[in-house]
Structure 1
Amino acid sequence: MILDIYKDSFEYAAKDWKTLIVLGVFCLLSFLLIPIFLITGYIYRVVDNAVHGVINGRDPLPEFNDIVDMFIDGVKVVIVQIVYLIVPIIIFLIFAAIASSLNNAIGAVIMMLGCLISIIVGIICCLMTQMGICHMAYNDGAFSKAFEIREIKEVIDEIGWFNCIITYLGLIIITVSIASVVTIIIGLIFTILGFSGAILGSATAGGMMAAATGGIFILGILMNIFVSMFIVGPYLSIFNYRSIGLLYTMQI
């Protein structure tokens, strides 16, 4: 079932490459803040499609319409993420405050314990965040449903904590692997071009090719940024949230 979720999400994210470019433009303009909420609002629509769909159900990608509604949905998602994130941060700060008031040895032990507990709670909160967003989408966007801890826990219990953890670990591995491979391939291509230019430039009288070598390396960096921002990043975002939404449907 988990492999079916991945397969569906891979195909789903690649249905319309124009969508990836639009998300990339929003990402590029994210310093204006408003595009951040439009990105999260669109990702929410991906989740909404998934929780109301089925695996291999041939769902289309959401459209970029009703911008105001998309913005509002994005604000709701960001608030949900912040609220859940606050919990492990508060726990960490409490332990840090206690550790700072003790001597070095005991304080170090308390700090290590605090870090461990914060990480564990952070992982749980991350899972609750994603399931909370799915639960909100499944309940027609009811904001309060994102914080119905008991209901969300029941959803996770029904799916199975093991299935949830394995799915999330798989998503992390897949995301990091794809991003790394693409970055390495582009880096190798432009590195080879750069060294080739340097060798060729040193063999010429004018040395103009050698002067252009630095430009080739810079072009490689810019190409990596472009591909990550306009293709790989949006693709992996849709893939991840489609997978999360479909995981939620395993309890329905």
Structure 2
Amino acid sequence: MNDRLSLKYCICTLIQGITLNIVPLATGYIFRIYSGEKPAPEINQWGKLFVDGWKINIVMILYAIPAIIIALIFGVFAFIPALFGPVATGQTPNVMAFAGVLFGLAITFVVILVLFLFAYMGVVRLGKTGKIGEAFNFHAINETISKGVGWLGYIGYYILLWLIAIIFIVILMILAIIPLIGWLLMFVITPLWAVFMARYMVNIYEAGE
């Protein structure tokens, strides 16, 4: 991205942050990157950026629903042993509830990891086709991954991305404690990270096209 484009994208990110993602202009730009447009696409047609941003938002919300449901179910079941378990086991309600919550969190975390394996490729497919339904075309997503880097390769790239993300978060935490300059750097590098991640996933997807 050139300086002018980077500045525009930072402005989009600022607007999206101020509006609490209600005006997802930065996400709309990521949609254009998912389409595979090269070189870096221009930031224009603001109305289309808004619509495309919401397409990605909708897809991610729909992908998150199963994890939310599972978390709620385990949250409810965690307190059933807390209420009735002590009668049979003699354990305290707090111990039973805590164990149930930990188990529920572990299951939810695994579900989220699996969902995001498909969600990342799903939003790239959304960008390629422009159709929300294609983000849930699991057969096509599986075929693309299998023909490209393969599932083992994809999981390896997926883990690598998470490791890079952890390093990035640590950097942000360090910058957060530096007044003004640190905050300014956070404002600049956070959008660049989003673009990097989008390009990263597009390259994986295009390997199987």
Q: Is the pair's TM-score, using the shorter chain for normalization, greater than 0.5? A: yes
Identify if the C-alpha distance between structure 1 residues 49 and 117 changes in structure 2 by more than 3 Å, giving closer, same or farther. Answer: same
Show the 5 A alignment for 1:50-69.
59-69=38-48
Which residue of the partner structure matches residue 133 of structure 2?
144
Report deviation, 1:154.
Answer: 3.0
Please tell me whether the aligned partners of residues 36 and 128 of structure 2 are also in contact (alpha carbons under 8 angstroms): no
Identify if the C-alpha distance between structure 1 residues 221 and 239 changes in structure 2 by more than 3 Å, giving closer, same or farther. Answer: same
Identify if the C-alpha distance between structure 1 residues 134 and 182 changes in structure 2 by more than 3 Å, giving closer, same or farther. Answer: closer
Instruction: Mark the structure with the bigger radius of gyration.
Output: 1
Which residue of the partner structure matches residue 223 of structure 1?
181
- Structure possessing the higher relative contact order (Cα contacts under 8 Å, 6 or more residues apart): 1
CA distance in 1, matches of 2:207, 2:9: 28
CA distance in 1, matches of 2:22, 2:96: 46
CA distance in 2, matches of 1:221, 1:85: 35
Instruction: Tell me how large the CA RMSD over aligned residues is.
Output: 2.4
Moved more, 101-110 or 118-127: 101-110
* Identity across the alignment (%): 27
Identify if the C-alpha distance between structure 1 residues 126 and 34 changes in structure 2 by more than 3 Å, giving closer, same or farther. Answer: closer
Equivalent residue letter for 1:239: F
Deviations 1:125-180 (A, max 9, x none): 112111111112222x0121012223223333443222222212222333443564
Moved more, 87-96 or 169-178: 169-178
Equivalent residue letter for 1:66: Q
Please tell me whether the aligned partners of residues 34 and 125 of structure 2 are also in contact (alpha carbons under 8 angstroms): no
Deviations 1:100-134 (A, max 9, x none): 11233554444332211111110111121111111
* Structure 1 runs not aligned, ≥5 long: 1-14, 51-58, 188-216
Deviations 1:220-249 (A, max 9, x none): 4121111111x2111111111001011011
CA distance in 1, matches of 2:25, 2:171: 28
* Structure 2 runs not aligned, ≥5 long: 86-92
Please tell me whether the aligned partners of residues 27 and 36 of structure 1 are also in contact (alpha carbons under 8 angstroms): no
Which residue of the partner structure matches residue 43 of structure 1?
30
Equivalent residue letter for 1:237: A
Which residue of the partner structure matches residue 90 of structure 2?
none
CA distance in 1, matches of 2:20, 2:103: 36
Report deviation, 1:22.
Answer: 1.8
Q: How many residues align?
A: 196
